[in-house]
């Protein structure tokens, strides 16, 4: 489900309180990815993905160079 306007505003508000410059090109213009993303959680001992375990992430894409910045959806306030 895409992030609605209210959730996108929470992300923008979170950015205002932090350094939001792109580490590659130094711009402050970000595109908010439509959905939350999650990396694959991996069991190192058994060398396989852990089913049902995820870490929700907000992804921002630099409008100038394409760098992808990832932040915890919990810290941004989208998930409690």
| Burial (CB count <10 Å: 0-12, 13-18, 19+), residue 49 | exposed
Phi-psi region of 26 (alpha: psi -120 to 50; beta: other; left: phi over 0): left
Among candidate residues 7, 54, 13, 62, the one with its CA nearest the CA of residue 35? 7
| pLDDT classification of 46: cutoffs 50, 70, 90 | confident
Query: Greater confidence, 48 or 66?
Result: 66
pTM, two decimal places: 0.80
What percent of the chain has a predicted confidence (pLDDT) above 90? 68
Mean pLDDT over residues 41-56, rounded?
Answer: 82
């Amino acid at each position: 489900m895409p992030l609605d306007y209210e959730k996108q505003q929470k992300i923008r508000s979170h950015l205002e309180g932090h350094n939001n410059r792109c580490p590659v090109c130094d711009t402050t213009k970000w595109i908010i990815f439509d959905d939350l993303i999650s990396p694959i959680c991996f069991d190192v001992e058994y060398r396989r993905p852990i089913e049902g375990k995820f870490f929700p992430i907000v992804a921002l894409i630099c409008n100038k160079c394409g760098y992808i910045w990832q932040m915890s959806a919990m810290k941004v306030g989208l998930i409690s």
